[in-house]
Chains A and B, each alone.
Chain A
Amino acid sequence: MADAVEAELLRGENLTRVYPDGNVQALRGVTLSVRKHESVAITGPSGCGKSTLLHLLGGLDQPTSGTVYFENKALSEIDLNDYHARRIGFVFQSFHLLPTLSAVENVQVPMFEASWPRSERVQRAERLLDEVGLLHRRNHLPTKLSVGERQRVAIARALANEPGLILADEPTGNLDSVSQNEILSLLDRLREDRSLTLLLITHSAEVATWADRIIHLLDGRIVDGV
């Protein structure tokens, strides 16, 4: 039991989220735990509360009730800027790359909060782009990259400050099947190489099977796979 607690990285306890506008209850008492180095897929139909749950676990939003713990510390007790900048990395469905910056510059954006010197930022960003197979496209703007390449840049950016946990919100939602498999393979390889923990939101049952563990969400409640 002691080993299991030590191995736990992220935990949500009895999380609820009610949006005041429209009195929508997006989450209804969700409790889940994610261990270090595992990959977890949260799946369910549209509107079931997947993204809301990810935002709460990522500290982007506050639960109406309940608590999120990271390494056994409540998020309310830790520096959220540090949590976002160094402890976790986000990957979004729409990539959210800054359109005026090249691939290598986009990867450097989170590094400003890590206070690395400029030369080191560039070197690190190039190493990360190399890791995702895009070093040859380092100076291309997002509009000059394919959607699959954009998501690779976004993944490299999520790893900018070497976090232990990646939170991915429908990372293959905008990709064709070939690109989808490439991105999933990439995430798998990175997880192995870097001992990452992966929490993935997806509405696709096929993508969900790729994870170590699947949690099904329906109407704001976990119905299977805690």
Chain B
Amino acid sequence: MRFTTLIVRNLVRRGVRTLLTVVGLSIGIAAVVAMLGIAWGFERSFLAINEAKGIDLMVVRAGVSDKLTSSLDESLEGTLKRIPGVKTAAGSYMDVVSFEDANLVSVLVNGWEPNSILFQGIRLIGGRTLIPGDGHSVLLGRVLALNLRKKVGDSLDVAGEPFRVVGLFESESLFENGGMIVPRSVLQKMMGREGNVTGFVVKTEPNDSKTIEEVGKRIEAAVPGVAAVPSRDYVQGDIRIRMVKAMAWTTSAIALILGSIGVLNTMMMTVFERTMEIGLLRALGWKRKRVLALILGEALALGFAGALLGVFVGYLEIQALARTPTASGFVSSSVPTSVIGVGLGLGLGLSLLGGIYPALRGAAMQPTEALRHG
């Protein structure tokens, strides 16, 4: 018989209670895994946009909390291109629209100039790209086309205006795949923001981190009221990513408390019910630390089982979300190992936290007192 045999038998002995504790713990961990997985997918997708296009700096209105609300004059593009170290720059106007009939909310609409560097990383999978002179023409991302059931040549109503689908594209970014691209001037007019862009993307030359930083400072000095942020910092500072991460960790905190209380309750009941047994083990010569290890081992086994189940359920949640039309545009189906690691670590940490006090209580029992319960 191994020491672990004793741990497993004690848990199986009270199967229903063990199962309920494991399920309780797994719910919290599943929520954490799902939330962190979504946050990671968000961040990864944003980063993919910039990496595919080779963007070094993002220039937006300084001080705005949500980058989508940034507004700059499109004529600044010429100013930016003249700053030493800037290889090229392009303005982009972004907005979000809804397609209620398809149950799609917050669909990203990119207003780009035809032939803009922003088209780098966009691969056509049907039809053609935007060309100068295009009016109400739209390119649909692969996921959006699937969700809207549209193909090249179909008409599409965008924010109350009729568009013609001229092409379908695929990108490394989930956001772009779930969004659409229209001529910038058309989108500006539709939204009543003629002459304005959300921001500019800038490529530097060379594009080492030192140059990027220096060029950023030059831009901020040359154009008052703008922030020139390295693309990675820009993504990590995005309000949506920060909110999702904050929600994920808030959920974690709640899971931490509830999970610990669940394990604590189960292990306290276990220790009280097995007072005689614990006394017996001490009478048979078991050291306090072995009794401690037995009870903590049971708590950790509960935590490990809860973590495994939680990670599995969280993974299924993400898969299910990634397949729903509403969320498929911004939820990635891949879950990184770091998120799985956080889920497993959280399960073991919670159970350890909940098991410490009962284990100390059990280990401190006097054999005579405990044996009286028999």
The residues of A with any CB-CB pair to B shorter than 8 Å are 55, 58, 60-61, 81-86, 90, 92, 94, 96, 98-101, 104-105, 108-110, 112-113, 118, 121-122, 157, 161
Contact = CB atoms under 8 A, between A and B. Distances in A.
Contacts of B281: 109
Interface in B1-31: 1-3, 5-6, 9-10, 12-13
B184 interface: no
B286 interface: yes
A90 B283 contact: yes
B284 interface: yes
25 contacts: A61-B366, A83-B285, A84-B282, A84-B285, A85-B286, A92-B280, A94-B374, A96-B276, A96-B374, A98-B277, A98-B280, A100-B12, A101-B1, A101-B6, A101-B9, A104-B1, A108-B1, A109-B6, A112-B3, A112-B290, A113-B286, A113-B287, A121-B1, A122-B1, A157-B284
Contact of B1 (A81, A99, A105): A105
Contact of A92 (B6, B12, B374): B374
B364 to A, nearest CB: 15
A118 B285 contact: no
Given A60-B367, A101-B1, A109-B6, 14 more contacts: A60-B283, A60-B368, A61-B366, A81-B287, A82-B285, A96-B374, A98-B280, A100-B10, A100-B13, A101-B6, A101-B9, A112-B3, A113-B284, A113-B285
Nearest to A86: B285
A61 B286 CA distance: 16
A126 B282 CA distance: 23
Contact of A113 (B1, B6, B290): B290
B350 to A, nearest CB: 25
B371 interface: yes
Interface size class of B (residues with CB under 8 A): 20 to 34
Nearest to B13: A100
Given A101-B6, A112-B290, A58 B1 contact: no
A100 B284 contact: no
Given A55-B368, A108-B1, A84 B10 contact: no
Interface of B: 1-3, 5-6, 9-10, 12-13, 276-277, 280-287, 290, 366-368, 371, 374
A55 B282 CA distance: 13
A90 B9 CA distance: 24
B284 A109 contact: yes
Contacts of A109: 6, 281, 284
Most A Cβ at <10 Å: residue of B281, B283, B286, B290: B283
Nearest to A80: B285
A105 B9 CA distance: 11
Most B Cβ at <10 Å: residue of A83, A85, A112: A112
B366 to A, nearest CB: 8
**A-B complex: 4 closest residue pairs judged by Cβ atoms:** A85-B285, A84-B285, A100-B9, A61-B368
Contacts of B283: 58, 60, 84, 90
Contacts of B367: 60-61
Contacts of A96: 276-277, 280, 371, 374
Contacts of A99: 13
A76 to B, nearest CB: 16
B285 to A, nearest CB: 3
B276 A112 contact: no
A60 B284 contact: no
B9 A81 contact: no
A63 to B, nearest CB: 12
B371 A60 contact: yes
Contacts of A90: 283-284
Contact of B2 (A58, A82, A118): A118
A90 B109 CA distance: 79
A105 B7 CA distance: 13
